[in-house]
Amino acid sequence: MSKTINMLSGAHKVKGQGVLSACEEQVNLVKNHLNNEYKVEINEIKFADIMHYHTINLEYFLTLPFTKIKSCTVGYVHFLPETLENSIKLPKIIKKIFYKYVIEFYKNMDYIITVNPYFIDKLVNYGIERDKITYIPNYVSSKNFFKIDKQEKIKVRKKYNISKDKFVILCVGQLQTRKGFFDFIEIAKKLPDIQFVWAGGFSFKKITDGYEKINKIVEDPPKNVKFLGIIPREEMNNIYNMADVMFLPSYEELFPMSVLESANCRLPIVLRNIDLYKGILDGYYLSGHTNDEFISIINKLKTELAFYIKASHMASLCSKHYSEENVSKIWKAYYNKIYKMSLKNKNKWRNL
């Protein structure tokens, strides 16, 4: 009898967010590498041996009491209340209810997956049993994200009206305060000879934290800053390859898909020096904390070829570490482990 996984996600309803990218990559990885052992279905309204929830939709939560009778439930942790705090603005009462709901959803799973080990202790502090939580990293396919040649790079720059001779700094992500948006702008102002590009938009529209102030700058940006808006994912490989450096000055993240995507394209990666990267990205990126430090790193990448090559190699190592082969093995072992839980649940059902 074939084993089944039902992948449940509502991430497609909000474009331009990392959760959607992570969901698509994980589903494709499992389909490609576990298809001999598991039949993978997407958003089917039926039970499976493993019900894998990628998002926390209310309709999923309401059916959990019935689902858990016959299936093993797995929840993906893409955010916590504190990571939402500086992402979206909600009225206090709605925020309180929503944050409580987020944790209740996670608590009602048989198992929980976090994409960053840094959040395991935080989940435990919310009352979730430690042995229910597993860290599995995000993953990006090398078939979707890869380095292109110099001539193709020039063509892409021409398409987006960027000079082939400019040194280009790219940030990818939603336009939010927590992404370090205002630091990005201030740094760009101090480096007028460098082209700064931001790919991403207001995925959550006017409830985005800092919307009014950010939108004012987007509508009238500094001369050396270009906002591309939300780019279809199939075009993002070209966007990365158009750039010389990936710069993400975020104050809060879990495991940015943009880091893995740019690593596949061998772009030097510059990130803020925050604790949550230490367990997953050590040795793969350049870090700064203040704007002056970021400016120094960017200038060094622009002017010192040996330093640039070393940083590009660091990104290459990141790509190899989070390769399709390595991450697919982790998922195979994980699903095989929790499949045993599914069998136990089925036996309980038969004995009723």
DSSP 8-class letter at 264: H
* pLDDT at residue 254 in the model: 82
For the four alpha carbons of 64, 66, 71 and 72, in that order, the dihedral sign comes to positive
Lowest-confidence segment of 138-147, 254-263, 322-331, 341-350 by average pLDDT: 341-350
Lowest-confidence segment of 12-16, 57-61, 342-346 by average pLDDT: 12-16
Higher pLDDT pick, 181 / 352: 181
Higher pLDDT pick, 311 / 23: 311
User: For the residues 72-101, what does the mean pLDDT come to?
Assistant: 87
User: For the residues 55-83, what does the mean pLDDT come to?
Assistant: 91
Nearest alpha-carbon partner for 78 in 106, 49, 39:
106
Burial class (CB in 10 A: 0-12, 13-18, 19+), 283: exposed
Higher pLDDT pick, 84 / 217: 217
Check: CB of residue 264 under 8 Å from CB of residue 145. Answer: yes
Query: pLDDT of 139-149, one tens digit each?
Result: 899 999 999 99
Class of the CATH domain delimited by 3-139+323-341: alpha beta
The amino acid that residue 300 corresponds to is: K
**In the chain, where does the domain assigned CATH 3.40.50.2000 lie?**
3-139+323-341, 150-321
Lowest-confidence segment of 27-31, 264-268, 293-297 by average pLDDT: 27-31
> Is the confidence at residue 17, as pLDDT, over 70?
no
User: For the residues 304-331, what does the mean pLDDT come to?
Assistant: 96
* pLDDT at residue 344 in the model: 65
Nearest alpha-carbon partner for 6 in 33, 37, 36, 46:
46
> Is the confidence at residue 16, as pLDDT, over 70?
no
Check: CB of residue 70 under 8 Å from CB of residue 344. Answer: no
Class of the CATH domain delimited by 150-321: alpha beta
Burial call 230-256: b when 16+ CB within 10 Å, e when fewer: ebebeebbbbbbbbbbbbbbbebbbbb
* pLDDT at residue 164 in the model: 94
* pLDDT at residue 350 in the model: 47
> Is the confidence at residue 248, as pLDDT, over 70?
yes
Q: Pick the most confident of 22-26, 74-78, 265-269, 272-276.
A: 265-269
* pLDDT at residue 161 in the model: 96
pTM, full prediction: 0.89
The long-range contacts involving 90-94, CB below 8 angstroms and separated by at least 24 positions, are 90/207
